[in-house]
Amino acid sequence: MLRRQTFTLLIVTCVGHVLLISAQVQSKSGMPVIQAAAFGLFARVQGVTGGTADAAHAIWSHYVALRGAAIDNEALRRRILDLEADLQRQQALSARTQSLEEALGLKQSQPAPMLAARVVAGNPSPSVLTIMIDRGTDDGLRPNMAVVAARGIVGRVIAPISRSAATVQLLVGRNAAAAVTFERSQAGGMVVGGLSQTSLRTEYVPVLADVRSGERVTTSGQDGIYPAGFPVGTVDQVTHPGSAIDREITVRPAVDFSRIDTVLVVLTATRAGGAP
């Protein structure tokens, strides 16, 4: 134990002498060696600390800048979405206005009295295909009145009819039909619904009639419901599955039945009303 204490005392004494000598000896810059060493150590520590602080500041600055840019981008994205929504609303309003103007233009060009109506509901069932309009018996509507749009025939009014609303059977619906004339060949016949919303089939077309694809089809007035001369569509296909007797003629409707918002009701029913 005594030896260990003596050794420790010797070490402390030596270190003390070294420090005392270092304090007296000057470096090349004129500063005591111990002070120069302490200053160098402090400078290195300060350099490391400063570098760390600068790096942290740079990282924080970049984070804040990126965060600000992200907020600006989000605000810009929301603004773009708002503008797109406004554009969609304006386009819908423009299309509705154009549809009404076209309907009114058709109303002026036809001698039969007509009443504009707006579609308020639709039946999505493929076997029915009806719509409801905001006109009824108070407006003079009765069953079997023809309903048209700017581009052509839509259908006919059927029961039930209330004072302020009526049901319209679309021409593409099951059991719907209209007497037609093929414009180029002057052949007569019937178009019948139930095939699809984009196609009508034909019946009672003369076998020898030279009906061709692309031929315009209009109402003939022979059915007692639709006045003559209204567009129905164009011949889509003429096929001969077996022979000329078995040929199939399909007509593409002039009206897009998936986009009907404004229609015209022909107020003069040419046939006594009845159940559809």
For residues 179-198, average pLDDT: 90
Contact predicate 231/216, CB 8 Å: yes
Lowest average pLDDT, out of 41-55, 120-134, 168-182, goes to 41-55
Domain layout of the chain by residue ranges: 1-109, 114-271
The string of pLDDT tens digits covering residues 45-57 is 455 555 565 565 5
Contact predicate 136/106, CB 8 Å: no
Query: How far is C-alpha 209 from the geometric centre of its chain's CA atoms?
Result: 44
Q: Could you tell me which residues come within 8 angstroms of residue 166 by beta carbon, excluding any fewer than 6 positions away?
A: 117, 132, 133, 135, 136, 141, 157, 265
The string of pLDDT tens digits covering residues 131-154 is 999 999 999 999 999 999 888 999
| Residue 88 pLDDT exceeds 60 | no
The Cα 248–Cα 225 span in angstroms is: 25
Higher pLDDT: 90 or 216? It is 216
Q: What is the 3-state secondary structure (H, E, C) of the chain?
A: CHHHHHHHHHHHHHHHHHHHHHHHCECCCCCEHHHHHHHHHHHHHHHHHHHHHHHHHHHHHHHHHHHHHHHHHHHHHHHHHHHHHHHHHHHHHHHHHHHHHHHHHHHHHCCCCEEEEEEEEECCCCCCCEEEECCCHHHCCCCCCEEECCCCEEEEEEEEECCCCEEEEECCCCCCEEEEEECCCCCEEEEEEEEECCEEEEECCCCCCCCCCCCEEEECCCCCCCCCCCEEEEEEEEECCCCHHHCEEEEEECCCCCCCCEEEEECCCCCCCCCC
Return the closest-CA partner of residue 32 out of 20, 42, 15, 43. Answer: 20
Omega before 160 within 30 of 0, i.e. cis: yes
Higher pLDDT: 72 or 46? It is 72
1.10.8.60, 2.40.10.340, 3.40.50.300, 3.50.50.60: CATH of 114-271: 2.40.10.340
